[in-house]
Amino acid sequence: MTPLPKPPYLAFDPDSRRASLDPHEPAFVQNPYEAYAWLHSVSPAFFWEQYGFWCFGGYDEVNRLLRDRRLGRQRPADVVPYPTERSHLSNFDGLEANSLLELEPPAHTRLRTLVNRAFVSRQVERLRPRIEALANELIDRFPASGAFDLLTAYASPLPITIIAEMLGVPVEMGPQLLEWSHRMVTMYVLDPSREDQIAADNASRDFASFLRGHVAERRKRPGDDLISLLIAAQDGERKLTEDELISSVVLLLNAGHEATVHQTGNAVMTILSQGGDPRRFFTTLEANQAGVEECLRYEAPLHVFTRYAYEEIELGNGIRLKPGEQIGLLLGMANRDPRAFAESDRFDPARTDQKNVSFGAGIHFCIGAPLARLELQVSLKVLFDRLPSLALAEAPRFSDTYHFHGLERLMVRAS
C-alpha cells in the first residue's frame, strides 16, 4: 500500500516500528481513523509507546489473535503480579477477580456455561415488542421543539431499562446504576487518576452491596428474572458462588448498556451524516440488520481489547512475546482495514464483505451481542420511522475516553 500523509501528532520509527501516539490527543480522539489509515499503509502491527505493548490493527491478525489460546485475559499473577500499592482498589479488584471478562478456562468455561444458560433461556428475540414499546415511550417524551441530547433522552435509558427489567432490578435504580457503571469503566482508560481509581472502587463497593441485598431477596422469593435464573443455574452439582453471581450481574449490567449507548449515539450520528431520508436503511428486516452491522463496523464502540501471553510466542515479523507480556488488539482499526473491506472508510450497508470484530471473537465473544444487536435494530428503526426529519443540532464530539469510542453528547432537533 502507498503510505498516506502521516498525521502530525503521530511519531513513528520504521526500523523498530515504535509509534508515539497520545490517546488523549484531541485530533486523534475526534478521528482515530486518520492515524489508523496511515498505520495500515505502513505497519498494522506496531509498538505503542504510551501503552508499552505491541498493538495489532490488521483485520486478519486481530481476528486470529482473538482466538489464539496462547493468549488470554486473565493476568498471569506468577509473572505479572499486581503493583504492591493497590489496597485502594480492593473492591474493584474483587469484582474483576470473578468476572467472565477477566477469566480463562477452566473457570471461564464453567462460569460462562452457567451465565449463558440463564441468559439465553430468556430468548432475546422475545424482547422485541418490549424494546419497541419502550422506544416509542421515550420518543413520546422528546421536546416538541428545540435541541436536546439524544444520548440522555433515548440512547441511555433504553438499554439500562431493558437490562434492569431482565435482571429484575428496580428500573428506578437506573440512574444510580449508570453512575456506578460510569465510575467503574474509567479504570479501563490509560492511566486513570488516583481520584478516578478511588471513585471506581467506591462505586464497586456500593454496586456490590446493593446487589447482595437484592440477591438475598431473590433467594427468598425467586421470580421470573435473570438474577433468579442465575441463582438456580447449575453445572452438575455446582452453582455460582455468591461472588461469582455478583460479578456476573455487574458485568451484565455494565456491558448491557455502556457499549450499546455508545453504539446507538455513533450510529445515529453516522446515519444523519449521510443525508437524505434515514428510513432508507431500515426498509426491510434484512436492510435493518445490514445497516446495524455496518454501523458496528464503521464506528465501533470499543477500540482496544487487551490480552496476556501465557507462553513464549512468535507472532512473525520479528515480534516475540514472553509469558506475561500484554498486547492490544485494535478492533476499531481492524474494522477499517482496506485489505479486508472494500472502500473501508466508506459507510456502505450494502457491502458484501461485512465481518466486523466489534463484539470480539473466540471464547470472549460478547455474551450480550444478540441483545445489543436487537436493541440497535429496533431502536434505530423506530427512531427514524417516527422522526424521519431528525437532524444534528451541532457537530458531535467524541469523549476523551479511548479505548471506549463514544460521544460526549448528541444534540439533535426532532423537527
- Per the domain annotation, does 289 fall within a domain? yes
Q: How many domains does the chain have?
A: 1
- Per the domain annotation, does 59 fall within a domain? no
In 5-91 the beta strands, taken as DSSP E runs, fall at 11-13, 18-20, 45-48, 53-56, 71-72
- Per the domain annotation, does 353 fall within a domain? no
What CATH number does residue 375 fall under? 1.10.630.10
Q: Give one DSSP letter per residue of 172-186, joined into a string.
A: GGHHHHHHHHHHHHG
Element (H, E) at 329: strand 326-330
Q: Residue 270's pLDDT band (boundaries 50, 70, 90)?
A: very high
- Per the domain annotation, does 347 fall within a domain? no
3-state class (DSSP) for residue 305: strand
Q: How far apart are CA 281 and CA 285, in angstroms?
A: 10
Taking the mean position of all CA atoms in its chain, how far away is CA 365?
A: 11
Find the radius of gyration of the CA atoms of the chain. Answer: 21
Supply the pLDDT for residue 400: 93
DSSP-H helix ranges across 238-397: 242-255, 258-273, 285-298, 331-334, 369-386
Supply the pLDDT for residue 189: 82
- Per the domain annotation, does 225 fall within a domain? yes
* pLDDT value at 325 more than 90: yes
Residues 108-163 have pLDDT tens digits of 888 888 788 666 655 688 899 999 999 999 999 999 889 999 999 999 999 999 98
* pLDDT value at 48 more than 70: yes
Residues 296-322 have pLDDT tens digits of 999 999 999 999 999 999 987 889 999
- Per the domain annotation, does 243 fall within a domain? yes
DSSP character at residue 395: -
Mean pLDDT in residue range 188-214? 92
- Per the domain annotation, does 5 fall within a domain? no
Using an 8 Å Cβ cutoff, are 145 and 391 in contact? Answer: no
- Per the domain annotation, does 181 fall within a domain? yes
Residues 377-399 have pLDDT tens digits of 999 999 999 999 999 999 999 99
Range of 108's domain?
82-298+363-390+399-413
Q: How far apart are CA 89 and CA 376, in angstroms?
A: 34
